[in-house]
Amino acid sequence: MGQQERVVIVGGGFGGLFAARALKGADIDLTLIDRRNFHLFQPLAYQVATGALSPAEIASPLRAVFKRQRNTRVLLGEVVDFDLAQRQVLVEQLPNDETAAIPYDTLVVAGGSHYSYFGHEDWQPFAPELKSLEGALDIRSRVLRAFEAAEIEDDSEARTSWLTFVVVGAGPTGVEMAGQIAELARDTLRGDYRSIDTTSATVLLVEAADRVLPNFHPASSRKTARALEQLGVSLVLGRPVVGIDADSVTLGSADGGQEVIGARTVVWAAGVEASSLARTLAERAGSEVDQSGRVTVEGDLSLPGHPNVFAIGDMVRVRGGDGSVSALPGLAPVAMQQGRYVARLIRWRLRGRASPPFRYHDKGNLATIGRSKAIAEIGPARIAGFPAWALWLGVHVFYLIGFQNRLLVLLRWTISFVTHGRGARLISEDAASNGRVTTTD
C-alpha cells in the first residue's frame, strides 16, 4: 500500500473550510493552515461592528469543526511562500514563530481578499475596514466612542463632526453597515445620553458609482435607496472619496470640484484586493496577477502548468472554455462551491477519474438593510421587504457553522428585534485608552 496522498489547504474561510469538510472520510492526509484558530462568518462581521453580536457568535474554532474528521490536522500559521518544485508550503508557525516546510501532493490555496484603499494606505488609520474581526471591533469602539465624545463636546461644530458617520462603498456590506449605524443612532441609543440627541446624527453612505448595490438590478438599488433614506441614511452617489484624515472626508465630483465633510468616524467597505498569496503563487508559477491582485486559474481551478495546485475564492479569475478569463463575484457561495468542487476533483483523481470544469451555480444575491427589510435576487425574481429579510435570516443562520452559534445568533436577533437593543456595546480597552497604557484597577 502506497503512502497516503498529502493534501494541504491554505485558508479557513468559506473556500478552504468547505473544501476541507467535503474531504471528510477521504483516504488522504489533510492539513488545513490558517493564521487564526477560527473560521469567521464574515457576512455578519458588520453586526459585531455595531454591537449586535459578539465575536464568538460568528466565529467557530477550527479544531472544534474538525475534531471528529480524523484525516485532518489544523495548523496555526501564516503561509509566507510556496515551493512548487519541491511541493512545499513555507509556514511561519504562529505559536513558536518558527518557519516550517509542509510537504504536499495536492495544494489548495484559499487566501481570500481584503478591502483595498486604492493606493491610499494612509487612509487606513482613519477608516478601518470591515472584513476582519479586529476591524469590526475597532469600528465598534470608534462608533461608540464618537457618541461619548459628542456627549462631552461643548463646541457645536466639533460635536456635529463627532455625530457624522461616513461609510465608504455601497455594496452589501456598506449598505448593511450604514443602515445599522442609523438604527443605532435613531433607535438603540435614543435616550442613552443626556447632552446630545443621538437621532440628530448624520450617516452618509458614499459610493463612486451612481447607485447603491451596483451589482444588483437597478430596481433593487432604487428600493434599497428608499429604505436607507427612511432609516435616516443620506446617500452620496457618483462621488469618489479623494481624501480622509482624522476629522474629515473629502469628496471629489465629476466637474473636478471638491467638498470637505467634517466627520470623525469613517468605515471602509470599498474596493477589493486579493490576498497577497495570489501574487506569491503567480510569481512562483511564472504568471501574473490582474489589477485586483487575482491569479488566473484553469477551468478546473488549477494553476496553469501545475495540475496539483488549486486556487479558489475571490483571489482568482477563472479561464473559460473559450480561453477568456473572468472573475466571479466575490461572494461566499462562489468560494463554497469552488471548495466543494476541488474536494470532489481530488476524490475523483484518487480513483483515476477526470473531472469536468468548475461551473458556478448562481443562487442569487442578498442584502439586508435594517429591521425586517432586505433585497433578494434569485434568477429573474426580485423580492423585497419582509419576505426577503426572512430569506436573508434563514440563509445566514443555516450557513453559520455550529449549532451553538446558530442558536445564540437567533436568540440575540430575537431579543434585539423585540427590545430594539444591542447587547454587545463594549468599547474595548485598546480603543478606549487611545493606545495609552492603562492600569488594571
Q: Where in 136-195 is the site for its own copies (CB under 8 A)?
A: 144-146, 148-149, 151-153, 189, 191-194
Q: Kindly state the helix (H) or strand (E) to which residue 14 belongs, with its residue range.
A: helix 14-22
Determine the residue type at 370.
Answer: G
17, 106, 110, 114: residue in contact with its own copies (rule CB under 8 A): 114
How deeply is 85 buried, as exposed, middle or buried, from its count of CB atoms within 10 A (0-12, 13-18, 19+)? Answer: exposed
Which residues in the 55-74 window bind its own copies by CB under 8 A? 55-57, 59, 61, 63-64, 67-68, 73
180, 275, 337, 338: residue in contact with its own copies (rule CB under 8 A): 275
Beta carbons of 133 and 48 less than 8 angstroms apart: yes
How deeply is 431 buried, as exposed, middle or buried, from its count of CB atoms within 10 A (0-12, 13-18, 19+)? Answer: middle
Residue 113 CB, shortest distance to its own copies, in Å, is 7
Stretch that binds its own copies, among 275-283, 355-363, 369-377, 384-392 (CB under 8 A): 275-283
Q: Residue 114 or 186: which CB sits closer to its own copies?
A: 114
DSSP strand pairing (5-10 vs 106-109): parallel
C-alpha cell at 277: 498569496
Q: Residue 60 or 365: which CB sits closer to its own copies?
A: 60
251: left (phi over 0), alpha (psi -120 to 50) or beta: beta
Q: Kindly state the helix (H) or strand (E) to which residue 349 belongs, with its residue range.
A: helix 332-350
Location of C-alpha cell 423585497: 384
Which residues in the 9-38 window bind its own copies by CB under 8 A? 35-38
Interaction of residue 207 with its own copies, rule CB under 8 A: no
* DSSP states of 75-144: EEEEEEEEETTTTEEEEEETTTTEEEEEE-SEEEE---EE---TT-GGGGGGS-BSSSHHHHHHHHHHHH
Q: Residue 152 or 219: which CB sits closer to its own copies?
A: 152
Q: Residue 54 or 355: which CB sits closer to its own copies?
A: 54
Q: How far apart are CA 428 and CA 285, in angstroms?
A: 43
Q: Residue 237 or 424: which CB sits closer to its own copies?
A: 424
Residue 1 CB, shortest distance to its own copies, in Å, is 21
Q: Residue 51 or 370: which CB sits closer to its own copies?
A: 51
Residue 136 CB, shortest distance to its own copies, in Å, is 11
4, 88, 93, 292: residue in contact with its own copies (rule CB under 8 A): 93
100, 246, 260, 325: residue in contact with its own copies (rule CB under 8 A): 100
Location of C-alpha cell 479569475: 317
Residue 135 CB, shortest distance to its own copies, in Å, is 7
Which residues in the 365-424 window bind its own copies by CB under 8 A? 402-405, 407-408, 411-412, 415, 419, 421, 423-424
The residue count for binding its own copies (CB under 8 A) is: 79
Is residue 416 classed as helix, strand or coil in its secondary structure?
Answer: helix
In the set 176, 207, 273, 377, the catalytic residue is 176
Q: How far apart are CA 142 and CA 146, in angstroms?
A: 6
Is 176 designated active site?
yes
Residue 152 CB, shortest distance to its own copies, in Å, is 5
Instruction: Give me the phi and psi of 77, to 5 degrees please.
Output: -170, 165
List, by residue number, the catalytic residues.
Answer: 176
